[in-house]
Amino acid sequence: MNVSLGDNRYYSVAGAGLHYVPDRAYAPGYFGYEDGEAYNDGEKGARLGTNLEVTGTPHDPVYQTARVGLTGYRLDVPAGAYELTLRFAEL
């Protein structure tokens, strides 16, 4: 599962089989953020994230959004071992 924090749109990486779902507030039995707000660079009103090119990736949309001020992120999943990968960019 891939989640694009601070985003309200779906994003797919053509040919790679990667699909990102939009961020959401936490609800029991699902996943989501606790508190915070979507990052807005202030350039064009209510647009989320930034439109700047992100160096080192051909998939800018994955790194152009963020959530600021969050106090937690929850995923309600069955007990077990999971691998978690976090990807960051400084906006």
- Please report which residue ranges of the chain form alpha helices under DSSP H: 60-63
Q: CA separation (Å) from 77 to 1, 7, 28, 82?
A: 12, 22, 11, 10
Per-residue pLDDT of the chain (91 residues; tens, 9 = 90+): 899 999 998 999 888 888 999 999 999 999 999 999 988 877 666 667 888 888 888 888 888 898 999 999 999 999 999 999 988 888 7
